[in-house]
Chains A and B, each alone.
Chain A
């Protein structure tokens, strides 16, 4: 710990129970200063409860929350110096955009001149300087979102919490706002905790992602790691499309056998394990007559072909009955010959496989 700066936020064994139900159980997590951290999970996974605990609207049943090394359990919400952007923006309908943004400054007794300078700066930061006197009802969803962001940033908080902030926007606007959020975060260097159920959003924006389910934090890692090496079945299924295959370990954990075909493993596995194969890592050869290097190809039959524009998604049935997804790009050799019922050989690079503890194994 010596020499490392204190984490901006630190959850230490935080649990929140409502009666017999645990909304959050035993979450331990450090978030570094300046980090863009995404909490990813479906609704009811406990991510919003965790946010409410951090913002001070709820207190942990067990464990504690620290900000910059200090416990905040005795600090009421309005003294925590956290900017929060709520899902539905929670703009005050009876105040104009500028009045909304000025609200935290008024609460802090800032003099008029500085207040106006800061409101100007904050609205400028979100490119809304021309909407100074509009009421929320006169603003579009994206503009309301920007006002909410400016309001949460204007008082220079230590931390910005965002609860599904882009959930109500349409696809195009959402992509635009994602880039803008990244830009603003970079310009201000603020720590951001971003709650979302949209995995692509988390991947696109976050330095690190924490995946939550059933109140537990399942895995915390950077986007590449979490996609390439999920730590369990839930995480693997939650992020992107994948096929999880049951395999038999061979060579004392250095390889595995599937459908009678032996494959090497990039690392050594000890316990019983399953493998995760992403569709984009699977290639398809028309077979079975061209089986030249059958050692690395598994015989399969095409069950279904879906056209996706940039390519096709092909559902395969391996010869042992398991199903496997492959994505075939335009220009691939097999592209013109995809039809349900055709026998093929499915292949994947040994290094592209991630190993999971087998489901149901201790």
Chain B
């Protein structure tokens, strides 16, 4: 199959479009930040950043908040990922939805919801006031904990996905083995599962850290003006159009800081995962020790020390409640920001109050009657559809181009996935600076290109997972039955690839529809996407109008998830039926 030395032009031409896009629309914009940042009076610019206590505080705040959010996310998500990796049937489905629905909901919507929860007259203060616990509303908003809380909430799904892929591969019997050898449940967990999952932890922590470092929506909505984050400063520099060079310098600062921290992570992870790359085998000693084995020693039992504190029976009962209690708390935490917007959107009041003083449809009527919102929705739909088609075509070509083997596939795949590893604010900044020169800012084409770059890796991952699940012998079988390469693709490969592509298409559509970072950077007055309009709406006045839009976005997400589930479950049902029809293996 593998032809070494000969360049396969056919497959190269399949790969060309994706790599051309990544070069022109991803690598070039990123590189464009560098001359912008270092052009002219570069020294003065960086002195302004590193010399002034204001910006040093911003950098420190960014790193601190990101580390806090990443740590909390890891601790909260790990048990959830473990339970998800072990669950099956209805429980697995529900846990999967618990992670998937927030993942597919716009970060903008999820962050906005915290305003309704933590506000002066929000859910928490409203509840506490009506219970008489407090007499005056607590100042929960515009504080560091509020930002961290929102970031943790946004990060949980991504962390769970990163962990689950690794945790799934752990054989549950390894935990049973630890128990039979005398490890208590907690020790078995910390000593066995966590170290084995180190790769998943590393990738999850890296993804979440990059995401939180680049966040500007959460600090802008929920943060304190004295505790700004880097992404926020960059965004406002671009929005006010003040100083591109300075914004570029800040972008470089962000990228370098993030890289330093991520490299520190990977050093730590490398130390803990050194067992995965064992050195050469130690020299084999002659088996002389084997002769004089002290078997008597092995006949003496070693008792497990009785635990110092006598655990009463009630504790054993309590241990059984740990899992349901944890799941309850996590589900409430994940779902409340999604659910709280529904009553708020039907509010009759002019401002965000929880519980609403009365209910009405006025905000929905206002949105549906507003040409601006309708235009924004149509813009988002057009952009989503175009992104969907573009990413799908690119992903299919790339998957087929790689095939089963390709030279330097690992490195090339890393390039394909690289948009996922760059803080989105940095890419959006680069895209803005580049597109501004060629008149693509504030155009639909510009946003479509940016979305395609950002979403193509996700669709590629889905398509490539589907492709690698197709048995390679099928192609050989089809060839032996007389099918030409093009007919093999049409009659065997493509039909099997289709479900993966359908899921990828849904995902691309939704991610583009909800994408906020590039949309906010690249759209302005003439082209407004729905997230961009929502961003403006929330910043200028937090009325239930934004809640109503958010609820409608949430509705779109739910519909897409249901369609996706129908596709997946429909296939699985067929598979199950055909399994049931098969004869039992005779024993």
Considering the complex, give the chain B residue whose CB is closest to the CB of A156.
B301
B278 is contacted by which of A138, A187, A189 (Cβ under 8 Å)? A138
Q: Which residues of A contact B298 (CB under 8 A)?
A: 118, 121-122, 125, 153-154, 156, 188
CB distance from B9 to the nearest CB of A (A): 39
B177 touches A86 (CB 8 A): yes
CB distance from B271 to the nearest CB of A (A): 12
Q: Which residues of B contact A133 (CB under 8 A)?
A: 282
Considering the complex, give the chain B residue whose CB is closest to the CB of A57.
B176
| Stretch among A101-109, A252-260, A275-283, A299-307 lining the B interface | A101-109
B180 touches A80 (CB 8 A): yes
CA of A103 to CA of B506, assembled, Å: 48
Interface of chain B residues 291 through 315 with chain A (CB within 8 A): 292-295, 297-305
CB distance from A49 to the nearest CB of B (A): 13
B302 touches A129 (CB 8 A): no
Complex interface bits, B153-194 against A, C-beta within 8 A gives 1, otherwise 0: 000000000000000000101101111111110011000100
Q: Which residues of B contact A96 (CB under 8 A)?
A: 275
Q: Which residues of A contact B275 (CB under 8 A)?
A: 93-96, 135
A86 touches B295 (CB 8 A): no
CA of A94 to CA of B198, assembled, Å: 10
A108 touches B284 (CB 8 A): no
CB distance from B400 to the nearest CB of A (A): 33
Considering the complex, give the chain B residue whose CB is closest to the CB of A109.
B305
CB distance from A168 to the nearest CB of B (A): 13
B178 touches A103 (CB 8 A): yes
Does A44 belong to the interface (CB within 8 Å)? yes
Q: Which residues of A contact B192 (CB under 8 A)?
A: 92
Considering the complex, give the chain A residue whose CB is closest to the CB of B294.
A121
A125 touches B295 (CB 8 A): yes
A78 is contacted by which of B179, B285, B587 (Cβ under 8 Å)? B179
Complex interface bits, A73-96 against B, C-beta within 8 A gives 1, otherwise 0: 000111111111011101111111
A107 touches B304 (CB 8 A): yes
CB distance from A104 to the nearest CB of B (A): 4
Does A55 belong to the interface (CB within 8 Å)? yes
Does A127 belong to the interface (CB within 8 Å)? yes
Q: Which residues of A contact B276 (CB under 8 A)?
A: 93-94
Does A47 belong to the interface (CB within 8 Å)? no
Number of inter-chain CB pairs below 8 Å: 144
Q: Which residues of A contact B286 (CB under 8 A)?
A: 130
B180 is contacted by which of A78, A120, A134, A189 (Cβ under 8 Å)? A78
Does B577 belong to the interface (CB within 8 Å)? no
Q: Which residues of B contact A105 (CB under 8 A)?
A: 302
A43 touches B183 (CB 8 A): no
CB distance from A188 to the nearest CB of B (A): 6
Q: Which residues of A contact B303 (CB under 8 A)?
A: 81, 108
Does A274 belong to the interface (CB within 8 Å)? no
CA of A93 to CA of B299, assembled, Å: 27
CB distance from A120 to the nearest CB of B (A): 7
CB distance from B86 to the nearest CB of A (A): 14
B295 touches A90 (CB 8 A): no
B284 touches A130 (CB 8 A): yes
Does A151 belong to the interface (CB within 8 Å)? yes
Complex interface bits, B184-212 against A, C-beta within 8 A gives 1, otherwise 0: 10011000100110100000000000000
CA of A129 to CA of B295, assembled, Å: 14
Interface of chain A residues 22 through 70 with chain B (CB within 8 A): 42-45, 55-57
B297 touches A121 (CB 8 A): yes
Q: Give the dominant DSSP class at A's interface.
A: loop
Does A167 belong to the interface (CB within 8 Å)? no
Does B322 belong to the interface (CB within 8 Å)? no
B173 touches A86 (CB 8 A): yes
Considering the complex, give the chain B residue whose CB is closest to the CB of A42.
B587
Interface of chain B residues 252 through 295 with chain A (CB within 8 A): 273, 275-276, 278, 281-282, 284-287, 289-290, 292-295
B297 touches A134 (CB 8 A): no
Whether A93 touches B183, Cβ cut-off 8 Å, given contacts A135-B278, A137-B278, is: no
Q: Which residues of A contact B282 (CB under 8 A)?
A: 132-134
Does A266 belong to the interface (CB within 8 Å)? no
Whether A108 touches B182, Cβ cut-off 8 Å, given contacts A121-B295, A138-B278, A188-B295, is: yes
Interface size class of B (residues with CB under 8 A): 35 or more
B176 touches A86 (CB 8 A): yes
Q: Which residues of B contact A109 (CB under 8 A)?
A: 305
Whether A151 touches B181, Cβ cut-off 8 Å, given contacts A118-B297, A156-B301, A158-B301, is: yes
B181 touches A155 (CB 8 A): yes
CB distance from A310 to the nearest CB of B (A): 27
A156 touches B299 (CB 8 A): yes
Q: Which residues of B contact A118 (CB under 8 A)?
A: 297-298, 302
B179 touches A77 (CB 8 A): yes
Q: Which residues of B contact A127 (CB under 8 A)?
A: 287, 290
A108 is contacted by which of B171, B278, B292, B302 (Cβ under 8 Å)? B302
Q: Which residues of A contact B184 (CB under 8 A)?
A: 78
Q: Which residues of A contact B301 (CB under 8 A)?
A: 81, 155-158
Q: Which residues of A contact B587 (CB under 8 A)?
A: 42-45
CA of A109 to CA of B182, assembled, Å: 11
CA of A229 to CA of B169, assembled, Å: 46
CB distance from A114 to the nearest CB of B (A): 8
A125 is contacted by which of B182, B293, B302 (Cβ under 8 Å)? B293
A189 touches B299 (CB 8 A): yes
Does A341 belong to the interface (CB within 8 Å)? no
CB distance from A41 to the nearest CB of B (A): 9
- Name which of B188, B196, B294, B298 has the most chain A CB atoms within 10 A of its CB: B298
Q: Which residues of B contact A158 (CB under 8 A)?
A: 301
CB distance from B19 to the nearest CB of A (A): 35
Considering the complex, give the chain A residue whose CB is closest to the CB of B180.
A84
Q: Which residues of B contact A188 (CB under 8 A)?
A: 295, 298-299
Q: Which residues of A contact B294 (CB under 8 A)?
A: 117, 120-121
- Name which of B286, B287, B587 has the most chain A CB atoms within 10 A of its CB: B587
Q: Which residues of A contact B285 (CB under 8 A)?
A: 129-130
Q: Which residues of A contact B179 (CB under 8 A)?
A: 56-57, 76-78
Considering the complex, give the chain B residue whose CB is closest to the CB of A154.
B298
- Name which of B179, B181, B276 has the most chain A CB atoms within 10 A of its CB: B181
Does A110 belong to the interface (CB within 8 Å)? yes
CB distance from B210 to the nearest CB of A (A): 26
CB distance from A186 to the nearest CB of B (A): 11
Interface of chain A residues 126 through 184 with chain B (CB within 8 A): 127, 129-130, 132-135, 137-138, 151-158
CA of A83 to CA of B179, assembled, Å: 10
Does A124 belong to the interface (CB within 8 Å)? yes
CB distance from A132 to the nearest CB of B (A): 7
CA of A59 to CA of B240, assembled, Å: 67
CB distance from B117 to the nearest CB of A (A): 41
Q: Which residues of B contact A57 (CB under 8 A)?
A: 176, 179
Considering the complex, give the chain A residue whose CB is closest to the CB of B286.
A130
CA of A158 to CA of B188, assembled, Å: 22
A129 touches B289 (CB 8 A): yes
CA of A91 to CA of B196, assembled, Å: 12
Whether A134 touches B302, Cβ cut-off 8 Å, given contacts A44-B587, A84-B177, A90-B174, is: no
CB distance from A179 to the nearest CB of B (A): 16
Whether A129 touches B278, Cβ cut-off 8 Å, given contacts A88-B173, A90-B177, A107-B304, is: no
Q: Which residues of B contact A155 (CB under 8 A)?
A: 181-182, 301-302
Considering the complex, give the chain B residue whose CB is closest to the CB of A157.
B301
CA of A107 to CA of B273, assembled, Å: 22
Q: Provide 16 A-B residue pairs closer than 8 Å at the C-beta atoms, listed in order of the A residue.
A: A55-B180, A81-B301, A84-B180, A90-B177, A91-B177, A92-B178, A94-B198, A94-B273, A104-B181, A104-B302, A107-B182, A124-B290, A130-B289, A134-B281, A134-B282, A188-B295
Q: Which 6 A-B pairs have the closest CB atoms?
A: A124-B293, A156-B301, A42-B587, A107-B182, A90-B177, A104-B181
For the A-B complex with A88-B171, A103-B183, A135-B278 known, give 4 more contacts whose Cβ atoms are closer than 8 Å: A117-B294, A122-B298, A135-B275, A188-B299
A-side residues, CB < 8 A to B, are 42-45, 55-57, 76-84, 86-88, 90-96, 103-105, 107-110, 117-118, 120-122, 124-125, 127, 129-130, 132-135, 137-138, 151-158, 187-189
